[in-house]
Structure 1
Amino acid sequence: MKHTPTIRAELDRYLQQEGLSIAQFGQLAGMNRGIVSAIVTGNKSMSVNQLDLITEAMGLPEGDFYDLFIENYIIDHPPNMRRIEPFLFRCAELDKLDAIRRVVGAIMDNLLYSPKLFDIAEELLAQGRNAAALLLYEGVAEAEKYQHSERLAVCQYRIFTIQVGDDQSRNLKAATLFEPFVERLDEIDQLDALKDLANVYRSSRKWDKVEEVAKIMRTKAEIQYNLKHEHKSRECNESTKKLTRPLFVYISYADLLCASVYEAQGDYQQALQYTYAYANLDWIKETDEDTQHWIGLFKHWAKANVIVNKLLSGDIKVLQDYVEYIDTAEDTTQEDRVIQLLNIMIAANRYDIDVSNIIKRFEADMVSLSQQSSSDMYTQQVVPDYFAWCGYELAHYYLHRSFYDDGFKHLMYSMVSYHTLNNETYFINCMGLFLHFRDHSAPETKADFLNFIEKVWMNNVKKNGTVDHCG
């Protein structure tokens, strides 16, 4: 049987090795002599704060004894949350995720500890310590997987939002795993969950799922909106404060999502009907500043998208209307700019329109957006996909007009972006466009593309394993 060393023994050995008395070490560590003595003799357990002081006084790295702390004071001991809670926060500060994983594994056999671990996870999430919070949410979710509780659903929602990142394939998997838990959430929380799900499906261009989720969100939001104004109860008004948007936004945003579905499918007439729906906001009863802000946004989006749907359906004469709208629109964000340019490029490539002068107006605005980060699911998921798509459309435009340097520059950006997003379909589209025009590429450009493609291939081989040769 393997003997587990103890922190007490390590400290005792250090005192003998350095020839220090308990009093002298207490002075070094800034600790009371009696506490040090009780720890050395084994008459007293220690807190993580005391452990940190001892570790520092011994000249060891922060957290050096944390594995031993788990062995000595947590595993095979009745869980003491007064000791465990500060230890978990300290592990999170030092990014000692393996230690957190061990603690969770040691105590989560008992469901009594789920509420406390969940509260700690919520606090860590509020502090921005997402990786540490994720381990706790996963631990609570695993322990409560047969409980059908609201807490389990919230854990699954948190796991989903934390896991969503650059990789669209992983995001889609996370969305698929989370979706069955939406109905177990509080009715108000369901609205933000559905909004986030829809945006992940939208970034992956899973249009049938976008429409399905959007319609569910609209129905639920309408029910809550009617309840709010029929009863005007304080409880209802308080619950809606948890939302990240005013309640009416979820109704109108569902219409906007459905419009994007039909636009993507080329049904511009149906897309226009949904666009007119979210442009008509006379039914909204609230008049506060936040409401007015969102009403302004929807009217702004609707005005632009009415023109866009006409443009993409082949009504080329509205292009000038769109450009004038862009030039005069107030409060245009960088996200708006990338979508505006993308719409123009799709129309230009589809109907062979010369838009070179229009492109120049956008160049200065397109540099910084790709480097921005955001916790908002739309900005985090949908906008990067639009950026990569825009790069592809620009490359298509320039290459077909024999502006090869510009074309290959945008194509490389799009290829790298789609690789980062792990969007295999559109990465292959980029490869096809490169191969079609490769004879027009400079030697160094061709080398850059081929080196990148080989690097992607090698990474896939490492990730998925090699294939045995036959014959």
Structure 2
Amino acid sequence: MRVVNRSLRVEIEDQMKLHGYNLNQVAELTGINVGNLSMALNGVSRAMTIRQLDALARVFGKVPGWLYELYTEECISEEKLSRPRLIPYLVRCAEVGRNDCIEPVISKILDNAKNVSIIFSVAEKLYQKGRSKESERFYQLVVDNVKDNFSEMLSMSHYRLFSIIQGTDAEKNWKAVIRFDPFRNRLSEHARLDALLKLTRVCFTLQKWNEVEGYADELIELSIMLCSQNIATERHLVYYYGIGLLFKGVVLEKRGLYDQAKKCVHSYANLGWWEPLDESGKKEIEVLGTLAKANLYTLEVLSGNQGIINEYADYLAGLNRLNDIVAGLIAIIKSANTYTFNVDHVLSRFSGSIERFDSFNQDLILSDRHLRFRYHKAIYEFRNGRVQPGIDETLHCLSLANEMRRYEYSFYCVSLFEKHRENASTQQLEYYRSAVVREEVYLE
């Protein structure tokens, strides 16, 4: 028996003596079959599992990860790897933060390129358990060590990394899109649907309208193609089809093509013709119908229909969802700035909601909307002769833009502030100088 193996078992036997436990007592306390425990402790035909070691640690009052540094010999012997023991071991090491145990094992696994599948399995198990941060390093190892660009394992690792990396940092998000984009069509069809949806959402927040349109077209085409196939998807296929149309409508809106955008909205507002359609599909159609109603209000407002403002505000208040409220207020303020009318009463009505917009700092779409709201609100305040509130909104927007690394908005805010610098208070000037310094640091 190897010294390391004996050391692992000697440590356990010492704890049994210290606590005055015999084999039957330990078996009862851990819930491990006494025969299996006996063979594991004696190293006879059965290696110890990481679950058994964890159970022993709990009985002996030890911290999670106890004796993990001695466990590798249960997994690797005479250059042979035990996949059934390595995968749960590395998963547990990642979960309890025993990174010191991971690196030596990884180096041995990577001695043979075929063993990368072990690392991928570890990453997948961590990801499925909601440990996306811990899984990231393992997916990156797969990306770094798989040379076959058409490997399904490589494509999925790129997809997972793309999903994990998404945050509010615009620069990182765009780099993530660029890295993942070449692999999107190499995913399985059901995974590709969600990948296209994520790509569309990220590019929406980055205002990359050509990319949004391209991915939305792919989403629509793929959902139609899969309609006749019995493929399990995260959500009903009608959702992917409808959301693809929704983003197409958004692109048309951003290009100022409001009439064309309305036609697109009407398309996903009426999807009862879709087949097959079960209860989940009907619920998705209801959701899309609600989104369509809100977006038709938006298009009417952006087209200059001032008479519908109060009706739209009532609709938003009835929904009582911050996501819808911030989106609606952007449209209302943007229209007010374009067509020079007053919406103070609407802003006052939703003042409580507006105060909560700063809670959006972790959500990709909502943080983008909050940023755009502050920018259009700053312009609105200046247009109505309220210079101090306008400067405050400009500085608020500048702070958000710097945090999100949305440099185009940083520049917009700097330009806006400089137009009104002479009216800024000492405190506002100091805040502005510190914000500009932070922006220069980000750019270095």
Normalising by the smaller structure, the TM-score range is: 0.7 to 0.9
In structure 2, stretches of 5+ residues that fail to align are: 24-36
Change (3 A) 1:65 1:454: farther
In structure 1, stretches of 5+ residues that fail to align are: 16-21, 229-235, 375-379, 465-471
Q: Which moved more, 1:175-184 or 1:138-147?
A: 138-147
8 Å CA contact 1:272, 1:309 repeated in 2: yes
Q: How does 1:307-326 map to 2 (within 5 A)?
A: 307-313=297-303, 315=304, 318-326=305-313
8 Å CA contact 1:101, 1:135 repeated in 2: no
Q: How does 1:274-353 map to 2 (within 5 A)?
A: 274-285=264-275, 288-313=278-303, 315=304, 318-328=305-315, 330-353=318-341
Q: Which amino acid aligns with 2:400?
A: S
Change (3 A) 1:39 1:429: same
Asked whether 1:267 is paired with 2:254, we answer: no
Determine the structure 2 residue equivalent to 1:179.
Answer: 181
8 Å CA contact 1:88, 1:100 repeated in 2: yes
8 Å CA contact 2:123, 2:138 repeated in 1: yes
Determine the structure 2 residue equivalent to 1:441.
Answer: 424
Determine the structure 2 residue equivalent to 1:122.
Answer: 124
* TM-score (normalizing by structure 1): 0.78
Q: CA RMSD in A?
A: 3.7
Q: Which amino acid aligns with 1:300?
A: T
Change (3 A) 1:294 1:45: closer
Separation in 2, partners of 1:455, 1:366: 26
Aligned residue for 2:245, secondary structure, equals helix
Q: C-alpha displacement at 1:26, in angstroms?
A: 3.8
8 Å CA contact 1:211, 1:261 repeated in 2: yes
Separation in 1, partners of 2:440, 2:19: 54
Change (3 A) 1:320 1:301: farther
Q: C-alpha displacement at 1:203, in angstroms?
A: 0.7
Q: How does 1:376-387 map to 2 (within 5 A)?
A: 380-387=363-370
Change (3 A) 1:302 1:28: same
Asked whether 1:429 is paired with 2:412, we answer: yes
Separation in 2, partners of 1:459, 1:224: 44
Separation in 1, partners of 2:212, 2:172: 17
Separation in 2, partners of 1:10, 1:291: 55
Change (3 A) 1:450 1:77: same
Separation in 2, partners of 1:86, 1:320: 63
Q: C-alpha displacement at 1:75, in angstroms?
A: 9.6
Q: How does 1:63-462 map to 2 (within 5 A)?
A: 63=65, 77-97=79-99, 99-146=101-148, 148-225=150-227, 227-228=228-229, 236=230, 239-240=231-232, 242-243=233-234, 245-285=235-275, 288-313=278-303, 315=304, 318-328=305-315, 330-371=318-359, 380-458=363-441, 460=443
Change (3 A) 1:96 1:172: farther
Q: C-alpha displacement at 1:208, in angstroms?
A: 0.6
8 Å CA contact 1:345, 1:397 repeated in 2: yes
Separation in 1, partners of 2:354, 2:104: 46
Aligned residue for 1:89, secondary structure, equals helix
Q: Which amino acid aligns with 2:195?
A: A
What CA deviation, in whole Å up to 9, does each residue of 1:375-399 have, x standing for no partner?
xxxxx32221111110111112113
8 Å CA contact 1:211, 1:258 repeated in 2: yes
* TM-score (normalizing by structure 2): 0.82
Q: C-alpha displacement at 1:178, in angstroms?
A: 0.9
Determine the structure 1 residue equivalent to 2:28.
Answer: none
Change (3 A) 1:307 1:50: closer
Identity %: 27
Aligned residue for 1:283, secondary structure, equals coil
Change (3 A) 1:160 1:28: farther
What CA deviation, in whole Å up to 9, does each residue of 1:160-215 have, x standing for no partner?
10111121111111111111111111122211111111111111111111111111
Q: Which amino acid aligns with 2:438?
A: K
